[in-house]
Structure 1
Amino acid sequence: MRIGYYAHHHGSGHCRQADKLAALLPFELRQQMTVFTSLPTDGYCFSTITDEQIVRLSTEDQLPEDVLSGRAGEYWQPSSLHYSPVGNRHVQTRSWQLLDQIRQRHIALMIIDVSVEVAMLCRTASVPYLYVRLAGERDDEPHLNAFAGALGLLAPYPRQLEAAATPDWVRQKTLYLDFMPNKIDKLSTFPDFIDKLITLTTNGDIHKRLYLRLDYDNKPANDNKDNNNKDHIVTVIKGYGGHDAIDAKLPELRCALPKALIISLGPINDEVRDCVDIAAHVDDVSPFIAYSDLLLMACGLNGIAQAYNYATPLVVLPDERPHREQEVMAEALIEQGRALSWAKFITQTSNLNSQNTPSFLSINNDSISNETINNEKAALTDIQPSMAAQNFMDSVAEYVSVKAWFQEWLLPQLGLRPEK
């Protein structure tokens, strides 16, 4: 069955999710998946999807010549849509591109990540679709209509992180795919990680501290090691969808942990660069997540998916997003005991005798097996792909008919039966 995947253009995360799902298909079937996006070519580099499988859509920005703006207010704005300018030639072009390519490429099923407008376009054109349901409070009328119009909903996170306010019918219509971390062939060793850090700075004092940290970790566990005498490694991970909120906290982080080695990954504002020891861009954050003593992150889907199954203590500082997307994810992680809020982290750190000890953070994550955690450093506990996501993509690969797949595979998974 040929699949189309609509990936929203805000940040690279939606295209990354499409890439991860495509990687779960058998190699010979990956070419049957098409990605629709208006993200520029330099916005994300696909590793599984070829250029021929990508349809670059026209943008949907408002234009001066629009007859009505995208949010024209009550009595001018359909309640089933968030954004619907009238007379916008770009929106007209992208709508034609979508429907034309769906027809030409014989796409049987669309996955929409995320756009209620594309969902309504597909439903109106009688194109079957699944809707990706991100975290957050998505109980507004446009979202509920998009959910109702879908054959099913896909949640790229575990069921146990579902928001308490989510309606029962939405939960029941949802296929939970669990987190899908980026695939890594082999996790580097701790010495390799230290070597990597050394290449990221020319500062000799930082080199010396890193070598001392390596010596500390190489000592036998029974060598009466004092946890307060090592330089703790704190990694701050930021995405490209927004980083100002975390950057604003870096001075306070430096004051809270004055002796820590603070590493900033991703974009950083110039005025706070002096608050960190190393600022860098890297292709693979896995060793930083595995071997740091503390992580500070926003609550973007891909970042949390990477960190969730590691034992590394986590402090979350959610970015402002529509529908409280990151705030709701942060609340669920904190409720589960997998993370601390920034406020609680600062409060507890200020009460410590030593300001250089972030290891007071507790980990209470059922998905982490204590038997696999090295006593001296955080370790990866599960690098296997999500079986729920794999089963979903296997089913898509197995069926030729979307109707047969819907009736024989999806509905039994959801325990639902629509009216005839």
Structure 2
Amino acid sequence: MTEAPIGYYVHHHGEGHRRRAMAIAKQAPGRLTLIGTGVAGLQGPFDTLDLPDDRLTGSGFDGEDNACERPDSLHYAPVHHDGVRGRARAVAGWIAERRPALMVVDVSVEIAMLARLCATPTIYVRLAGARWDEAHLDAFRGAQALIAPFDRRCEVYDAPGWVVSKTRYLPGLGAAPASAASRDNVVLVAFGRGGAKTTPEDVTDAAAATPARRWRVIGPMARPLAPPANLDVAGWVDHAEQEIARAGVVVGGAGDGVLSAAAAGGRPFVCVPEDRQFDEQRAKANALKKAGAAVVLPAWPRPAEWPGVLADAEAIDPLRLSSFHDPDGPAKAASFILGQADR
């Protein structure tokens, strides 16, 4: 008897959702179909279903649908949008044709509701932060199980008991490599697709204040007009997690991808959490600070502070940060999902 497929919805804002989905799917060859905008070109032992874009413009996604009226159980539901209509039709059609055992939703309360309306159970991926609005709570209630792609210590203090008891905490889902040898004096500034407020001038001033260090920036930051000789702005790179694992010091926010790669490599980490909905990054940054696992700062340091900040990061026992990563996370997640699908 052929096993029923499993759908895995991949949200298109940020890179962490895609990395998680691919890492998990590789642990369950041939069983998962990755569903989302921009998944058609992904390579691996999985099928894909590319969806029309639901964004109001092509320049980004801020979660705002400009709707004056919306049910409390929805987050993003713009009206008269052909992309939204096409997505719903494609997902419902795939469910009707393939009859999946379940849908993993990472993340969208609307897709979770659509799957349930199509008679399909869900596993919902819970991001960090205080997500206790009605839309999130409805998605959590309707799910067969919840997955949190972060360490249990990153849970917020006011998490409802029933949500915690329904959650499987699975850090290390970013497919980050094992520890690599340090690249002497390189300070790697890593920005994710979710967006950051750090400016080229901020990094230029930091590099100029530490001339004995080499600085390298990866991610979506414009090149400074007059960068110092010790600063390299690389932009997007193909293997960001490998660069993070080799860095002397990593500087970045508390996004899942950067945190997972820094923890997997045991790298000295300077964490400057970025503003996100539901205080997602601050919840993880507070856990790192409480564990003494990283230098956690409320804002980008002044230039004169950088020598001390880097020295403080290098003085931290790397095992403290490594404890926030599980190298077997993708395998455990795949096993959990398959168990839920086949029960």
TM bucket by the smaller chain? 0.7 to 0.9
Pairwise CA distance, 1:38: 1.4
Query: Given residue 337 of structure 1, which amino acid in structure 2 is its aligned partner?
Result: G
Match in the other structure for 1:277: 231
In 2, the alpha carbon distance for the partners of 1:108 and 1:272 equals 54
Q: 1:365 to 1:259 in 2, by over 3 A?
A: closer
Match in the other structure for 2:33: 34
Q: 1:393 to 1:171 in 2, by over 3 A?
A: same
Match in the other structure for 1:408: none
2:9–2:104 contact (8 Å) kept in structure 1: yes
Q: Is 2:42 the partner of 1:46? A: yes
1:293–1:358 contact (8 Å) kept in structure 2: no
2:209–2:303 contact (8 Å) kept in structure 1: no
In 1, the alpha carbon distance for the partners of 2:241 and 2:56 equals 39
Counterparts in 2 of 1:250-399, with a 5 A limit?
Answer: 250-271=203-224, 274-275=227-228, 277-280=231-234, 281-286=236-241, 288-343=243-298, 346=301, 350=305, 355=307, 358-361=310-313, 362-363=315-316, 384-386=327-329, 389-397=330-338
In 1, the alpha carbon distance for the partners of 2:97 and 2:70 equals 32
SS in 1 for 2:227: helix
2:16–2:174 contact (8 Å) kept in structure 1: no
TM-score by length of 1: 0.69
2:206–2:303 contact (8 Å) kept in structure 1: no
In 2, the alpha carbon distance for the partners of 1:84 and 1:115 equals 11
2:292–2:320 contact (8 Å) kept in structure 1: no
1:57–1:97 contact (8 Å) kept in structure 2: yes
Aligned sequence identity (%): 29
Q: 1:21 to 1:87 in 2, by over 3 A?
A: same
Pairwise CA distance, 1:338: 1.4
1:129–1:151 contact (8 Å) kept in structure 2: yes
Q: 1:357 to 1:123 in 2, by over 3 A?
A: closer
SS in 1 for 2:14: coil
1:258–1:356 contact (8 Å) kept in structure 2: no
1:337–1:365 contact (8 Å) kept in structure 2: no
2:24–2:333 contact (8 Å) kept in structure 1: no
SS in 2 for 1:271: coil
Q: 1:382 to 1:322 in 2, by over 3 A?
A: closer
Query: Given residue 31 of structure 1, which amino acid in structure 2 is its aligned partner?
Result: G
The number of equivalent residue pairs is: 331
Deviations for 1:137-160, whole angstroms, at most 9, x for unmatched residues? Answer: 211111111111111111011112
Counterparts in 2 of 1:69-80, with a 5 A limit?
Answer: 70-73=65-68, 76-80=69-73
Q: Is 2:50 the partner of 1:56? A: yes
Q: Is 2:12 the partner of 1:9? A: yes
Q: 1:297 to 1:347 in 2, by over 3 A?
A: same
2:7–2:32 contact (8 Å) kept in structure 1: yes
SS in 1 for 2:188: strand
TM-score by length of 2: 0.83
In 1, the alpha carbon distance for the partners of 2:159 and 2:65 equals 28
Q: 1:112 to 1:290 in 2, by over 3 A?
A: closer
SS in 2 for 1:331: helix
Q: 1:309 to 1:120 in 2, by over 3 A?
A: same
Pairwise CA distance, 1:261: 1.1
Structure possessing the higher radius of gyration over alpha carbons: 1
Pairwise CA distance, 1:35: 1.0
SS in 1 for 2:198: helix
Deviations for 1:150-186, whole angstroms, at most 9, x for unmatched residues? Answer: 11111011112212222222111111112224254x7
Match in the other structure for 1:241: 194
SS in 2 for 1:245: coil
Query: Given residue 42 of structure 2, which amino acid in structure 1 is its aligned partner?
Result: F
Counterparts in 2 of 1:125-136, with a 5 A limit?
Answer: 125-136=118-129
Deviations for 1:318-360, whole angstroms, at most 9, x for unmatched residues? Answer: 232222222222222222211222358848963x9xx488233
Which moved further from structure 2: 257-266 or 275-284?
Answer: 275-284
RMSD: 3.2
In 2, the alpha carbon distance for the partners of 1:320 and 1:383 equals 26
SS in 1 for 2:224: helix
Structure 1 segments unaligned to the other structure (5+ residues): 64-68, 194-212, 214-231, 371-380, 406-420
